[in-house]
Structure 1
Amino acid sequence: MSIKLVSWNVNGIRAVSKKDEFWDWFDNNDADIINFQEVRATKKDIPKKLADVDEYDSYFNEAEKKGYSGVATYSKIKTVDVSRGLGIEELDSEGRVLKVEFEDFILYNIYFPNSGMEAKRLDFKVAFCDALLDELKELKSQGKNLVITGDYNIAHNPIDVYNPKNCEGKSGYLPEERAWLDELEEAGFVDTFRMFDESENNFTWWSYRTRARQRNAGWRLDYFYVNEEIKDNVKSADILSDVYGSDHCPVTLELDFNKGG
């Protein structure tokens, strides 16, 4: 069975739903599973066309704070189970984690915290990331197949930012953040995009300031990671940099569970 997934930080689902670029993409995409981050709305607050989509079942995790954070997953594929959060009260009030279990894998749709100006939320982010990694390691040890997607709010390597020297010390490129992605990979998880493309200038986020997108002065913050045991099931992974509507663009993954692995 071939499964196509897409992930996109929409920077507010109500705002993006007012843009023709979004509907051009949404109405014509062929994804089996769509993941949105930074939804910033409850299901009852969004346009009916997005709240109840005929082809998809939809699941939301909303922040307690109104108009903040939040994730949503739309699926054409039958789910086995759906849960929200990491099970840690102090980390779960912002609606950042949606865990959807399918027959062949467990999907994590995550909007990772931003470490903030002057790294004011770095401790919270590190605690969030470490708790997540503990959970992923445990599930991996049980033989579960895992797909972890979303806006990680981390650019991993110098190749993932347009001007590495200038980005040093900035939120999203701090040593502690980048080291966590090293830990994720050391634990046996694979950055699927880099399986296919190791070139420069592949970004998923561009600041609205200084016409950054037109200059492709961006960062790669959005990922699909999988556990190494299913890397042979990965058929493709891509960045849809020609899709507009947000300061992020969508990223994609295609899996085939007809193959071995």
Structure 2
Amino acid sequence: MKFISWNVNGFRAALRHGFLRTFKELDPDILAIQDIRLSPDEIEVETPGYYQYWNYSEEKSYDGTAIFTKEKPQTVAYGIGVPEFDQQGRTITLEFEDYYFVNTYVPFSGEQLQRLAFRQAWDRAFKEYVERLKENKPVVIGGDMSVAHEAIDLAEPSENHHHAGFTEQERDDFTELLDAGFIDTYRYYYPNKTGMYTYWSYRGDARPKNEGWRLDYFLVSDDLQNNLESANILTDIMGSDHCPVSLKIDLKK
């Protein structure tokens, strides 16, 4: 199976920048997108051959997630069961016969770290949520995790040591999530590869200079390690300040 995750930085803008063409060319079994910034019934888009699931933020033009899947899931869940977090449309979980797929958009801690406590509370709640899922069947997580886990995951680690997305607290929380039994699939294949990022600021020509951050991930529960086939960062795909990430996995082994 081929999974794609992409923070589209606003779905209306993504449509203007060729989203549907890119979607068709990639031909994933599941496409998860984050930061849709839509309200219900604001946009209808036809995706032949795919079921669509949308989770909207209660705050207009803010956050939100969506999933397009070729296979119809057995169940669909919106949120992680915590109202404080679920009102922002950050998570969708699809249950299939052999696994769960979770699309998530982790909260940003704020330019002045004013939301760091909120973010850390989210981290704890999300870890508990996926741990519960993992007790039932394997789990695949795709999304914008809003953290560069290690110094290798951003271009300027020393300059950003206390900035949102690279604080010790956020990095430690991500380590705890992995230690709960999840694999960072890109680092599984490329443990030491440098210069590979998924986000570049629109300021300062960051993308042409490759001054970026790896914020977007596919994680899988460790019981799927032998099912992994490949994980990649699709840096050539434009249309957002993030690029898509991909995962190929044989879930029928």
TM-score tier after normalising by the smaller chain length: over 0.9
Cα deviation for residue 43 of structure 1 reads: 4.8
Which residue of the partner structure matches residue 196 of structure 2?
202
Counterpart CA distance in 2 for 1:39 and 1:139 is 25
The two structures, once aligned, show a CA RMSD in angstroms of: 1.1
Counterpart CA distance in 1 for 2:145 and 2:27 is 24
Cα deviation for residue 42 of structure 1 reads: 3.0
Counterpart CA distance in 1 for 2:103 and 2:39 is 16
1:131-210 correspondence runs (5 A): 131-140=125-134, 142-198=135-191, 199-210=193-204
Which residue of the partner structure matches residue 212 of structure 2?
218
Structure 2 portions without partners, runs of 5+: none
- Normalised by the size of structure 1, how large is the TM-score? 0.94
What secondary structure sits across from 1:54 in the alignment? coil
Structure 1 portions without partners, runs of 5+: none
Cα deviation for residue 17 of structure 1 reads: 0.5
Contact 2:34/2:64 (8 A) holds in 1: yes
1:50-65 correspondence runs (5 A): 50=45, 52-65=46-59
Deviation larger for 96-105 or 5-14: 96-105
Letter in structure 1 aligned against 2:12? R
1:49-128 correspondence runs (5 A): 50=45, 52-128=46-122
Counterpart CA distance in 2 for 1:241 and 1:103 is 32
Cα deviation for residue 104 of structure 1 reads: 1.4
Which residue of the partner structure matches residue 11 of structure 1?
9
Letter in structure 2 aligned against 1:27? K
Aligned residues: 252
Contact 2:100/2:133 (8 A) holds in 1: no
Counterpart CA distance in 2 for 1:257 and 1:5 is 12
Counterpart CA distance in 2 for 1:33 and 1:42 is 22
Of 21, 25, 31, the match for 1:24 = 21
Of 214, 228, 231, the match for 2:225 = 231
What secondary structure sits across from 1:165 in the alignment? coil
Cα deviation for residue 79 of structure 1 reads: 0.5
Counterpart CA distance in 2 for 1:90 and 1:185 is 24
- Normalised by the size of structure 2, how large is the TM-score? 0.97
Letter in structure 1 aligned against 2:55? N
Cα deviation for residue 36 of structure 1 reads: 0.4
Letter in structure 2 aligned against 1:184? L
Counterpart CA distance in 1 for 2:16 and 2:251 is 37
Cα deviation for residue 27 of structure 1 reads: 2.4
Runs of 4+ aligned structure 1 residues displaced above 3 Å come to none
Counterpart CA distance in 2 for 1:248 and 1:84 is 24
Cα deviation for residue 77 of structure 1 reads: 1.1
Letter in structure 2 aligned against 1:144? K
